[in-house]
Structure 1
Amino acid sequence: MKAVVHGMLAAASAALPSGAALAHGISEPDRLAMIEGGYGRYVELGALHMLTGYDHLLFLLGVVFFLTRLRDVVVFVTAFTLGHSITLLGATFLGITVNPFAVDAVIALTVAYKGFDNLGGFQTHLNIRPPSLLAMVFGFGLIHGFGLSTRLQELPLGDDRVATGLRILCFNAGVELGQIAALLAMTAALALWRRRPSFPRFSALANGALVAAGLLLFLAQSHGALHTLDPDQFGFATDQHTHAHEDMRLELQRLEQRRKAAGHDNL
Protein backbone atom coordinates (compact mmCIF):
# COMPACT_ATOMS: atom_id res chain seq x y z
CA MET A 1 0.00 0.00 0.00
CA LYS A 2 2.83 2.35 0.88
CA ALA A 3 4.42 1.69 -2.50
CA VAL A 4 1.15 2.55 -4.24
CA VAL A 5 0.87 5.84 -2.34
CA HIS A 6 4.49 6.64 -3.11
CA GLY A 7 3.94 5.94 -6.79
CA MET A 8 0.85 8.15 -6.99
CA LEU A 9 2.54 11.05 -5.23
CA ALA A 10 5.73 10.72 -7.26
CA ALA A 11 3.74 10.62 -10.50
CA ALA A 12 1.82 13.74 -9.52
CA SER A 13 5.03 15.54 -8.66
CA ALA A 14 6.66 14.49 -11.92
CA ALA A 15 3.62 15.56 -13.92
CA LEU A 16 4.13 19.16 -12.87
CA PRO A 17 6.81 21.39 -14.38
CA SER A 18 9.96 21.96 -12.36
CA GLY A 19 9.07 24.28 -9.52
CA ALA A 20 5.35 23.72 -9.84
CA ALA A 21 4.99 22.15 -6.44
CA LEU A 22 6.06 25.47 -4.99
CA ALA A 23 3.32 27.43 -6.67
CA HIS A 24 4.53 30.70 -5.28
CA GLY A 25 8.13 30.01 -4.34
CA ILE A 26 10.61 32.91 -4.29
CA SER A 27 13.67 32.49 -6.49
CA GLU A 28 17.23 32.78 -5.24
CA PRO A 29 17.90 36.07 -7.12
CA ASP A 30 14.77 37.56 -5.54
CA ARG A 31 15.87 36.44 -2.08
CA LEU A 32 19.25 38.07 -2.57
CA ALA A 33 17.57 41.24 -3.84
CA MET A 34 15.42 41.37 -0.72
CA ILE A 35 18.50 41.09 1.48
CA GLU A 36 20.12 44.10 -0.19
CA GLY A 37 17.04 46.02 -1.31
CA GLY A 38 14.81 48.53 0.47
CA TYR A 39 11.17 48.47 1.51
CA GLY A 40 10.00 49.07 -2.05
CA ARG A 41 11.56 45.77 -3.04
CA TYR A 42 9.32 43.99 -0.52
CA VAL A 43 6.26 45.60 -2.09
CA GLU A 44 7.43 44.54 -5.54
CA LEU A 45 8.12 40.97 -4.51
CA GLY A 46 4.86 40.73 -2.60
CA ALA A 47 3.01 41.62 -5.80
CA LEU A 48 5.11 39.20 -7.84
CA HIS A 49 4.51 36.51 -5.24
CA MET A 50 0.75 36.78 -5.68
CA LEU A 51 0.87 37.09 -9.48
CA THR A 52 2.97 33.93 -9.79
CA GLY A 53 1.18 32.04 -7.01
CA TYR A 54 -1.20 30.10 -9.19
CA ASP A 55 -2.78 28.21 -6.30
CA HIS A 56 -4.00 31.57 -4.95
CA LEU A 57 -5.00 32.71 -8.44
CA LEU A 58 -6.92 29.52 -9.21
CA PHE A 59 -8.87 29.87 -5.97
CA LEU A 60 -9.70 33.51 -6.72
CA LEU A 61 -10.81 32.52 -10.21
CA GLY A 62 -13.18 30.00 -8.69
CA VAL A 63 -14.55 32.59 -6.28
CA VAL A 64 -15.36 35.22 -8.93
CA PHE A 65 -16.30 32.79 -11.71
CA PHE A 66 -20.07 33.23 -11.39
CA LEU A 67 -20.12 36.66 -9.71
CA THR A 68 -21.65 39.17 -12.13
CA ARG A 69 -22.11 42.16 -9.82
CA LEU A 70 -19.18 44.34 -8.78
CA ARG A 71 -20.58 44.56 -5.26
CA ASP A 72 -20.44 40.79 -4.86
CA VAL A 73 -16.87 40.65 -6.16
CA VAL A 74 -15.83 43.33 -3.65
CA VAL A 75 -17.56 41.56 -0.73
CA PHE A 76 -16.05 38.13 -1.36
CA VAL A 77 -12.59 39.39 -2.26
CA THR A 78 -12.59 41.56 0.87
CA ALA A 79 -13.40 38.49 2.97
CA PHE A 80 -10.51 36.61 1.34
CA THR A 81 -8.18 39.59 1.82
CA LEU A 82 -9.06 39.94 5.50
CA GLY A 83 -8.47 36.24 6.02
CA HIS A 84 -5.08 35.99 4.38
CA SER A 85 -3.90 39.31 5.83
CA ILE A 86 -4.68 38.16 9.39
CA THR A 87 -2.56 35.03 9.14
CA LEU A 88 0.15 36.52 6.92
CA LEU A 89 0.76 39.38 9.36
CA GLY A 90 0.00 37.50 12.56
CA ALA A 91 1.96 34.32 11.83
CA THR A 92 4.96 36.27 10.55
CA PHE A 93 5.03 38.73 13.46
CA LEU A 94 4.69 35.90 15.99
CA GLY A 95 7.06 33.54 14.17
CA ILE A 96 4.43 30.80 13.79
CA THR A 97 5.69 28.30 11.23
CA VAL A 98 4.17 25.26 9.57
CA ASN A 99 5.46 22.76 7.05
CA PRO A 100 5.33 24.74 3.77
CA PHE A 101 4.42 21.69 1.71
CA ALA A 102 1.63 20.73 4.11
CA VAL A 103 0.01 24.16 4.05
CA ASP A 104 0.29 24.27 0.26
CA ALA A 105 -1.41 20.88 0.09
CA VAL A 106 -4.34 22.28 2.06
CA ILE A 107 -4.40 25.37 -0.18
CA ALA A 108 -4.62 23.04 -3.18
CA LEU A 109 -7.70 21.43 -1.65
CA THR A 110 -9.36 24.86 -1.40
CA VAL A 111 -8.97 25.15 -5.18
CA ALA A 112 -10.62 21.76 -5.70
CA TYR A 113 -13.35 22.67 -3.20
CA LYS A 114 -14.28 25.85 -5.05
CA GLY A 115 -14.43 24.07 -8.39
CA PHE A 116 -16.64 21.36 -6.84
CA ASP A 117 -18.89 24.04 -5.32
CA ASN A 118 -19.18 25.87 -8.65
CA LEU A 119 -20.24 22.63 -10.32
CA GLY A 120 -23.10 22.29 -7.84
CA GLY A 121 -21.45 19.25 -6.35
CA PHE A 122 -22.98 19.67 -2.91
CA GLN A 123 -26.53 19.59 -4.27
CA THR A 124 -25.94 17.04 -7.03
CA HIS A 125 -23.68 14.51 -5.32
CA LEU A 126 -24.20 15.11 -1.60
CA ASN A 127 -27.80 16.32 -1.66
CA ILE A 128 -27.03 19.10 0.83
CA ARG A 129 -26.85 22.86 0.73
CA PRO A 130 -23.29 24.16 0.39
CA PRO A 131 -21.76 25.93 3.40
CA SER A 132 -21.88 29.73 3.49
CA LEU A 133 -19.64 30.90 0.67
CA LEU A 134 -18.65 34.08 2.50
CA ALA A 135 -17.59 32.12 5.60
CA MET A 136 -15.68 29.58 3.51
CA VAL A 137 -13.86 32.28 1.53
CA PHE A 138 -12.81 33.99 4.77
CA GLY A 139 -11.74 30.69 6.34
CA PHE A 140 -9.81 29.64 3.27
CA GLY A 141 -8.20 33.08 3.24
CA LEU A 142 -6.74 32.29 6.66
CA ILE A 143 -5.17 29.15 5.18
CA HIS A 144 -3.78 31.00 2.16
CA GLY A 145 -2.28 33.58 4.52
CA PHE A 146 -0.31 30.84 6.26
CA GLY A 147 1.06 29.84 2.87
CA LEU A 148 2.18 33.40 2.20
CA SER A 149 3.68 33.66 5.68
CA THR A 150 5.78 30.52 5.27
CA ARG A 151 7.42 32.05 2.20
CA LEU A 152 8.03 35.40 3.87
CA GLN A 153 9.52 33.81 6.99
CA GLU A 154 12.08 31.98 4.89
CA LEU A 155 13.58 35.36 4.02
CA PRO A 156 15.75 37.58 6.22
CA LEU A 157 13.53 40.19 7.86
CA GLY A 158 16.17 41.73 10.11
CA ASP A 159 16.58 41.99 13.87
CA ASP A 160 15.09 45.45 14.35
CA ARG A 161 11.41 44.99 15.24
CA VAL A 162 10.29 48.24 13.60
CA ALA A 163 12.15 47.51 10.37
CA THR A 164 10.91 43.93 10.41
CA GLY A 165 7.33 45.11 10.86
CA LEU A 166 7.65 47.54 7.97
CA ARG A 167 9.04 44.82 5.69
CA ILE A 168 6.14 42.52 6.56
CA LEU A 169 3.60 45.29 5.95
CA CYS A 170 5.25 46.20 2.64
CA PHE A 171 5.18 42.59 1.50
CA ASN A 172 1.50 42.34 2.43
CA ALA A 173 0.76 45.58 0.57
CA GLY A 174 2.46 44.13 -2.49
CA VAL A 175 0.36 40.97 -2.20
CA GLU A 176 -2.81 43.08 -2.24
CA LEU A 177 -1.63 45.09 -5.26
CA GLY A 178 -0.85 41.89 -7.12
CA GLN A 179 -4.25 40.51 -6.18
CA ILE A 180 -6.01 43.62 -7.51
CA ALA A 181 -4.13 43.38 -10.81
CA ALA A 182 -4.99 39.69 -11.16
CA LEU A 183 -8.65 40.29 -10.32
CA LEU A 184 -8.96 43.07 -12.88
CA ALA A 185 -7.71 40.71 -15.57
CA MET A 186 -9.91 37.82 -14.38
CA THR A 187 -13.13 39.80 -14.10
CA ALA A 188 -12.58 41.49 -17.46
CA ALA A 189 -11.93 38.16 -19.19
CA LEU A 190 -14.94 36.53 -17.52
CA ALA A 191 -17.20 39.46 -18.44
CA LEU A 192 -16.23 39.08 -22.10
CA TRP A 193 -16.59 35.29 -22.00
CA ARG A 194 -20.08 35.46 -20.48
CA ARG A 195 -21.29 37.29 -23.58
CA ARG A 196 -20.39 34.35 -25.78
CA PRO A 197 -22.65 31.34 -26.39
CA SER A 198 -19.82 29.02 -25.34
CA PHE A 199 -19.86 30.15 -21.70
CA PRO A 200 -22.66 27.85 -20.43
CA ARG A 201 -21.15 24.86 -22.23
CA PHE A 202 -17.56 25.35 -21.16
CA SER A 203 -18.06 26.77 -17.67
CA ALA A 204 -18.55 23.24 -16.33
CA LEU A 205 -15.37 22.13 -18.09
CA ALA A 206 -13.45 25.07 -16.63
CA ASN A 207 -14.57 24.31 -13.09
CA GLY A 208 -13.86 20.63 -13.60
CA ALA A 209 -10.35 21.69 -14.54
CA LEU A 210 -10.16 23.61 -11.25
CA VAL A 211 -11.03 20.43 -9.36
CA ALA A 212 -8.44 18.43 -11.30
CA ALA A 213 -5.74 21.09 -10.85
CA GLY A 214 -6.42 21.30 -7.13
CA LEU A 215 -6.19 17.54 -6.68
CA LEU A 216 -3.02 17.29 -8.75
CA LEU A 217 -1.39 20.07 -6.74
CA PHE A 218 -2.54 18.37 -3.53
CA LEU A 219 -0.78 15.14 -4.51
CA ALA A 220 2.38 16.98 -5.51
CA GLN A 221 2.50 19.02 -2.30
CA SER A 222 1.73 15.93 -0.23
CA HIS A 223 4.72 14.27 -1.83
CA GLY A 224 6.82 17.25 -0.75
CA ALA A 225 5.48 17.06 2.80
CA LEU A 226 6.21 13.34 3.03
CA HIS A 227 9.68 13.98 1.63
CA THR A 228 10.46 16.22 4.60
CA LEU A 229 9.33 13.44 6.95
CA ASP A 230 10.81 10.44 5.11
CA PRO A 231 13.22 11.54 2.35
CA ASP A 232 14.42 7.99 1.69
CA GLN A 233 10.95 6.75 0.75
CA PHE A 234 9.62 9.96 -0.78
CA GLY A 235 12.62 11.50 -2.48
CA PHE A 236 13.00 13.84 -5.40
CA ALA A 237 15.99 15.23 -7.23
CA THR A 238 17.86 17.99 -5.42
CA ASP A 239 18.09 20.07 -8.60
CA GLN A 240 14.32 20.51 -8.66
CA HIS A 241 12.91 23.78 -7.38
CA THR A 242 10.81 21.71 -4.98
CA HIS A 243 13.97 21.00 -3.01
CA ALA A 244 14.53 24.70 -2.35
CA HIS A 245 12.74 24.66 1.00
CA GLU A 246 15.43 22.50 2.57
CA ASP A 247 18.35 24.46 1.09
CA MET A 248 16.94 27.93 1.66
CA ARG A 249 17.68 28.36 5.34
CA LEU A 250 21.23 27.06 5.04
CA GLU A 251 21.92 29.40 2.14
CA LEU A 252 20.56 32.38 4.05
CA GLN A 253 22.69 31.46 7.05
CA ARG A 254 25.77 31.37 4.83
CA LEU A 255 24.89 34.76 3.35
CA GLU A 256 24.45 36.25 6.81
CA GLN A 257 27.78 34.82 7.93
CA ARG A 258 29.51 36.31 4.88
CA ARG A 259 27.94 39.71 5.56
CA LYS A 260 29.07 39.63 9.20
CA ALA A 261 32.56 38.57 8.16
CA ALA A 262 32.71 41.42 5.64
CA GLY A 263 31.60 43.83 8.35
CA HIS A 264 34.39 42.68 10.67
CA ASP A 265 36.93 43.06 7.85
CA ASN A 266 35.87 46.67 7.34
CA LEU A 267 36.41 47.52 11.02
Structure 2
Amino acid sequence: MKIFFLLIASLFFSAVAYAHGISEADKQAMIDGGNLRYIWLGATHMLSGYDHLLFLFGVVFFLTTTKDIIKFVTIFTIGHSITLIFATFMGINANYYLIDAVIAISVIYKAFDNNKGFGNYLGVKSPNLLVMVLLFGLIHGFGLSTRLQQLPLGEQNWDMLLRIISFNVGVELGQIIALIFMLVVLTQWRKRKSFLRLSKVTNHALMFAGFMLLLMQLHGYLHTTNEEEFGFNKDAHQHIHMDMEAKQKEYIYDSL
Protein backbone atom coordinates (compact mmCIF):
# COMPACT_ATOMS: atom_id res chain seq x y z
CA MET A 1 0.00 0.00 0.00
CA LYS A 2 2.85 2.34 0.83
CA ILE A 3 4.38 1.70 -2.57
CA PHE A 4 1.03 2.44 -4.24
CA PHE A 5 0.76 5.86 -2.60
CA LEU A 6 4.36 6.63 -3.52
CA LEU A 7 3.59 5.83 -7.14
CA ILE A 8 0.59 8.17 -7.08
CA ALA A 9 2.71 10.91 -5.51
CA SER A 10 5.37 10.37 -8.14
CA LEU A 11 2.83 10.80 -10.93
CA PHE A 12 1.49 13.97 -9.30
CA PHE A 13 4.88 15.62 -8.95
CA SER A 14 5.79 14.55 -12.46
CA ALA A 15 2.66 16.28 -13.75
CA VAL A 16 3.57 19.45 -11.86
CA ALA A 17 7.11 19.44 -13.20
CA TYR A 18 6.35 18.74 -16.85
CA ALA A 19 2.82 20.01 -17.43
CA HIS A 20 3.94 23.25 -19.08
CA GLY A 21 7.27 22.39 -20.64
CA ILE A 22 8.36 21.29 -24.09
CA SER A 23 11.75 19.62 -23.82
CA GLU A 24 14.67 20.65 -26.01
CA ALA A 25 14.67 17.14 -27.48
CA ASP A 26 11.04 17.58 -28.59
CA LYS A 27 11.85 20.97 -30.09
CA GLN A 28 14.72 19.53 -32.11
CA ALA A 29 12.54 16.61 -33.19
CA MET A 30 9.98 19.06 -34.50
CA ILE A 31 12.62 20.81 -36.60
CA ASP A 32 13.99 17.54 -37.97
CA GLY A 33 10.72 15.69 -38.47
CA GLY A 34 8.53 18.29 -40.14
CA ASN A 35 4.72 18.29 -40.14
CA LEU A 36 4.36 14.60 -39.30
CA ARG A 37 6.16 15.26 -36.04
CA TYR A 38 3.66 17.99 -35.21
CA ILE A 39 0.80 15.57 -35.85
CA TRP A 40 2.44 13.03 -33.55
CA LEU A 41 3.03 15.60 -30.81
CA GLY A 42 -0.56 16.85 -31.06
CA ALA A 43 -1.90 13.31 -30.66
CA THR A 44 0.35 12.41 -27.75
CA HIS A 45 -0.30 15.74 -26.07
CA MET A 46 -4.05 15.15 -26.17
CA LEU A 47 -3.70 11.56 -24.96
CA SER A 48 -1.61 12.75 -22.00
CA GLY A 49 -3.71 15.87 -21.40
CA TYR A 50 -5.55 14.73 -18.28
CA ASP A 51 -7.47 18.02 -17.94
CA HIS A 52 -8.81 17.87 -21.51
CA LEU A 53 -9.69 14.19 -21.16
CA LEU A 54 -11.47 14.66 -17.84
CA PHE A 55 -13.66 17.37 -19.35
CA LEU A 56 -14.40 15.23 -22.41
CA PHE A 57 -15.27 12.30 -20.12
CA GLY A 58 -17.70 14.54 -18.26
CA VAL A 59 -19.29 15.69 -21.52
CA VAL A 60 -20.00 12.18 -22.82
CA PHE A 61 -20.76 10.61 -19.43
CA PHE A 62 -24.55 10.64 -19.83
CA LEU A 63 -24.76 10.81 -23.62
CA THR A 64 -26.29 7.62 -25.00
CA THR A 65 -27.17 8.39 -28.63
CA THR A 66 -24.71 8.67 -31.51
CA LYS A 67 -26.37 11.93 -32.59
CA ASP A 68 -25.77 13.61 -29.21
CA ILE A 69 -22.20 12.33 -28.95
CA ILE A 70 -21.34 13.64 -32.43
CA LYS A 71 -23.06 16.97 -31.73
CA PHE A 72 -21.29 17.73 -28.47
CA VAL A 73 -17.88 16.38 -29.47
CA THR A 74 -18.08 18.34 -32.73
CA ILE A 75 -18.89 21.62 -30.99
CA PHE A 76 -16.04 21.02 -28.52
CA THR A 77 -13.69 20.27 -31.43
CA ILE A 78 -14.76 23.42 -33.31
CA GLY A 79 -14.18 25.49 -30.18
CA HIS A 80 -10.68 24.29 -29.39
CA SER A 81 -9.66 24.27 -33.07
CA ILE A 82 -10.60 27.94 -33.49
CA THR A 83 -8.49 29.22 -30.62
CA LEU A 84 -5.67 26.73 -31.17
CA ILE A 85 -5.16 27.85 -34.77
CA PHE A 86 -6.02 31.54 -34.44
CA ALA A 87 -4.22 32.29 -31.16
CA THR A 88 -1.07 30.44 -32.25
CA PHE A 89 -0.92 32.02 -35.70
CA MET A 90 -1.54 35.52 -34.30
CA GLY A 91 0.88 34.99 -31.39
CA ILE A 92 -1.79 35.68 -28.75
CA ASN A 93 -0.57 34.37 -25.42
CA ALA A 94 -1.39 34.43 -21.73
CA ASN A 95 -0.13 32.91 -18.51
CA TYR A 96 -0.57 29.19 -19.15
CA TYR A 97 -1.21 28.43 -15.48
CA LEU A 98 -4.23 30.74 -15.46
CA ILE A 99 -5.57 29.24 -18.68
CA ASP A 100 -5.18 25.76 -17.26
CA ALA A 101 -6.87 26.88 -14.04
CA VAL A 102 -9.95 27.80 -16.10
CA ILE A 103 -9.70 24.42 -17.85
CA ALA A 104 -9.73 22.78 -14.41
CA ILE A 105 -12.85 24.82 -13.59
CA SER A 106 -14.44 23.43 -16.77
CA VAL A 107 -13.96 19.92 -15.36
CA ILE A 108 -15.59 20.94 -12.08
CA TYR A 109 -18.42 22.65 -13.96
CA LYS A 110 -19.28 19.66 -16.14
CA ALA A 111 -19.27 17.21 -13.22
CA PHE A 112 -21.42 19.63 -11.18
CA ASP A 113 -23.84 19.91 -14.10
CA ASN A 114 -23.92 16.12 -14.52
CA ASN A 115 -25.09 15.82 -10.93
CA LYS A 116 -27.85 18.39 -11.60
CA GLY A 117 -26.13 20.79 -9.25
CA PHE A 118 -27.75 23.93 -10.67
CA GLY A 119 -31.25 22.69 -9.98
CA ASN A 120 -30.63 20.71 -6.80
CA TYR A 121 -28.30 23.13 -5.01
CA LEU A 122 -28.76 26.54 -6.64
CA GLY A 123 -32.40 26.28 -7.63
CA VAL A 124 -31.78 27.61 -11.13
CA LYS A 125 -31.89 26.18 -14.62
CA SER A 126 -28.52 25.06 -15.90
CA PRO A 127 -27.02 27.12 -18.76
CA ASN A 128 -27.37 25.83 -22.32
CA LEU A 129 -24.97 22.89 -22.43
CA LEU A 130 -24.08 23.25 -26.11
CA VAL A 131 -23.08 26.88 -25.58
CA MET A 132 -21.02 26.02 -22.49
CA VAL A 133 -19.21 23.18 -24.26
CA LEU A 134 -18.34 25.58 -27.11
CA LEU A 135 -17.14 28.22 -24.63
CA PHE A 136 -14.98 25.78 -22.71
CA GLY A 137 -13.76 24.36 -26.03
CA LEU A 138 -12.43 27.82 -26.92
CA ILE A 139 -10.59 27.96 -23.60
CA HIS A 140 -9.17 24.44 -24.01
CA GLY A 141 -7.88 25.44 -27.44
CA PHE A 142 -6.17 28.49 -25.94
CA GLY A 143 -4.48 26.18 -23.45
CA LEU A 144 -3.26 23.96 -26.28
CA SER A 145 -2.01 27.06 -28.08
CA THR A 146 0.22 28.03 -25.15
CA ARG A 147 2.01 24.68 -25.55
CA LEU A 148 2.30 24.92 -29.32
CA GLN A 149 3.80 28.39 -29.11
CA GLN A 150 6.76 26.90 -27.23
CA LEU A 151 7.74 25.02 -30.39
CA PRO A 152 9.68 26.28 -33.42
CA LEU A 153 6.94 27.14 -35.92
CA GLY A 154 9.09 28.84 -38.55
CA GLU A 155 9.16 32.42 -39.78
CA GLN A 156 7.17 32.00 -43.00
CA ASN A 157 3.41 32.34 -42.54
CA TRP A 158 2.61 29.35 -44.77
CA ASP A 159 5.05 27.03 -43.00
CA MET A 160 3.78 28.21 -39.63
CA LEU A 161 0.14 27.63 -40.60
CA LEU A 162 0.89 24.11 -41.88
CA ARG A 163 2.61 23.21 -38.62
CA ILE A 164 -0.25 24.60 -36.55
CA ILE A 165 -2.81 22.69 -38.59
CA SER A 166 -0.69 19.53 -38.36
CA PHE A 167 -0.60 19.84 -34.57
CA ASN A 168 -4.37 20.38 -34.54
CA VAL A 169 -4.92 17.30 -36.71
CA GLY A 170 -2.86 15.31 -34.22
CA VAL A 171 -4.94 16.68 -31.35
CA GLU A 172 -8.13 15.53 -33.06
CA LEU A 173 -6.68 12.06 -33.75
CA GLY A 174 -5.68 11.75 -30.09
CA GLN A 175 -9.14 12.90 -29.05
CA ILE A 176 -10.79 10.26 -31.26
CA ILE A 177 -8.63 7.51 -29.74
CA ALA A 178 -9.42 8.67 -26.20
CA LEU A 179 -13.12 9.07 -27.03
CA ILE A 180 -13.40 5.53 -28.39
CA PHE A 181 -11.89 4.16 -25.19
CA MET A 182 -14.23 6.26 -23.02
CA LEU A 183 -17.33 5.21 -24.97
CA VAL A 184 -16.41 1.53 -24.80
CA VAL A 185 -15.96 1.75 -21.03
CA LEU A 186 -19.15 3.77 -20.49
CA THR A 187 -21.23 1.55 -22.79
CA GLN A 188 -20.19 -1.57 -20.93
CA TRP A 189 -20.64 0.08 -17.55
CA ARG A 190 -24.17 1.29 -18.36
CA LYS A 191 -25.23 -2.35 -18.73
CA ARG A 192 -24.47 -2.92 -15.06
CA LYS A 193 -26.61 -1.90 -12.10
CA SER A 194 -23.61 -0.19 -10.54
CA PHE A 195 -23.79 2.61 -13.12
CA LEU A 196 -26.90 4.23 -11.66
CA ARG A 197 -25.66 3.62 -8.14
CA LEU A 198 -22.18 5.05 -8.70
CA SER A 199 -22.70 7.67 -11.40
CA LYS A 200 -23.21 10.46 -8.89
CA VAL A 201 -20.19 9.38 -6.87
CA THR A 202 -18.11 9.25 -10.06
CA ASN A 203 -19.01 12.82 -10.93
CA HIS A 204 -18.20 13.92 -7.38
CA ALA A 205 -14.80 12.30 -7.91
CA LEU A 206 -14.52 14.19 -11.21
CA MET A 207 -15.24 17.44 -9.38
CA PHE A 208 -12.59 16.60 -6.81
CA ALA A 209 -10.06 15.87 -9.57
CA GLY A 210 -10.88 19.21 -11.19
CA PHE A 211 -10.48 20.97 -7.85
CA MET A 212 -7.05 19.38 -7.32
CA LEU A 213 -6.01 20.42 -10.82
CA LEU A 214 -7.20 23.95 -10.06
CA LEU A 215 -5.08 24.08 -6.90
CA MET A 216 -2.09 22.73 -8.83
CA GLN A 217 -2.38 25.41 -11.53
CA LEU A 218 -2.89 28.24 -9.02
CA HIS A 219 0.14 26.93 -7.14
CA GLY A 220 2.18 27.16 -10.35
CA TYR A 221 0.83 30.65 -11.08
CA LEU A 222 1.86 31.94 -7.67
CA HIS A 223 5.40 30.74 -8.26
CA THR A 224 5.62 32.47 -11.64
CA THR A 225 4.34 35.79 -10.29
CA ASN A 226 5.85 35.83 -6.78
CA GLU A 227 9.25 34.20 -7.22
CA GLU A 228 11.01 36.39 -4.63
CA GLU A 229 8.30 35.82 -2.04
CA PHE A 230 8.71 32.05 -2.35
CA GLY A 231 12.47 32.26 -2.11
CA PHE A 232 13.28 30.55 -5.41
CA ASN A 233 12.33 30.94 -9.04
CA LYS A 234 10.12 28.64 -11.08
CA ASP A 235 13.08 26.76 -12.58
CA ALA A 236 14.44 25.99 -9.12
CA HIS A 237 10.93 25.04 -8.04
CA GLN A 238 10.64 22.58 -10.95
CA HIS A 239 14.01 21.06 -10.06
CA ILE A 240 12.84 20.59 -6.46
CA HIS A 241 9.81 18.61 -7.67
CA MET A 242 12.06 16.60 -10.00
CA ASP A 243 14.43 15.83 -7.12
CA MET A 244 11.48 14.75 -4.98
CA GLU A 245 10.30 12.48 -7.78
CA ALA A 246 13.78 10.95 -8.15
CA LYS A 247 13.97 10.25 -4.41
CA GLN A 248 10.51 8.64 -4.46
CA LYS A 249 11.50 6.39 -7.35
CA GLU A 250 14.72 5.44 -5.58
CA TYR A 251 12.73 4.53 -2.46
CA ILE A 252 10.27 2.48 -4.52
CA TYR A 253 13.09 0.51 -6.16
CA ASP A 254 14.71 -0.09 -2.76
CA SER A 255 11.36 -1.28 -1.36
CA LEU A 256 10.90 -3.73 -4.18
Q: TM-score scaled to structure 1, two decimals?
A: 0.81
Equivalent residue in structure 2 for 1:42, among 38, 42, 57: 38
Instruction: Return the alpha-carbon distance in structure 1 between the equivalents of residues 14 and 167 of structure 2.
Output: 25
Give 1:117's aligned amino acid: D
Say yes or no: does 1:53 pair with 2:64. Answer: no
- On the 8 A contact 2:22/2:151 being kept in 1, the answer is no
CA deviation digits over 1:178-203, x for unaligned, max 9? 10111011011100000011111111
- Corresponding residue for 1:142? 138
Equivalent residue in structure 1 for 2:12, among 7, 12, 16: 16
Instruction: Return the alpha-carbon distance in structure 1 between the equivalents of residues 55 and 18 of structure 2.
Output: 16
Instruction: Return the alpha-carbon distance in structure 2 between the equivalents of residues 121 and 44 of structure 1.
Output: 38
Percent sequence identity over matched residues? 57
CA deviation digits over 1:153-196, x for unaligned, max 9? 01110111111110001000000011011101101110000001
Say yes or no: does 1:183 pair with 2:184. Answer: no
Say yes or no: does 1:169 pair with 2:165. Answer: yes
Tell me the CA shift for residue 28 of structure 1: 4.0
- On the 8 A contact 2:55/2:107 being kept in 1, the answer is yes
Counterpart of 2:15 in 1: which secondary structure? coil
- On the 8 A contact 1:24/1:54 being kept in 2, the answer is no
Tell me the CA shift for residue 15 of structure 1: 9.4
Cα RMSD of the aligned pairs, angstroms, is: 2.0
- On the 8 A contact 1:50/1:57 being kept in 2, the answer is yes
Tell me the CA shift for residue 29 of structure 1: 2.9
The structure with the greater share of residues assigned to helix is 2
Equivalent residue in structure 2 for 1:153, among 128, 135, 149: 149
Say yes or no: does 1:106 pair with 2:82. Answer: no
- Corresponding residue for 1:8? none
Give 2:47's aligned amino acid: L
5+ residue gaps, structure 1: 1-12, 243-267
- Corresponding residue for 1:128? 124
How many equivalent residue pairs?
Answer: 230
Q: How does 1:188-199 map to 2 (within 5 A)?
A: 188-199=184-195
5+ residue gaps, structure 2: 1-8, 243-256
Q: 1:26 to 1:189 in 2, by over 3 A?
A: farther
- Corresponding residue for 1:265? none
* Structure 1: 4+ residue segments shifted above 3 A: 20-28
Q: TM-score scaled to structure 2, two decimals?
A: 0.85
Q: 1:24 to 1:70 in 2, by over 3 A?
A: farther
Give 2:183's aligned amino acid: T
- Corresponding residue for 1:254? none
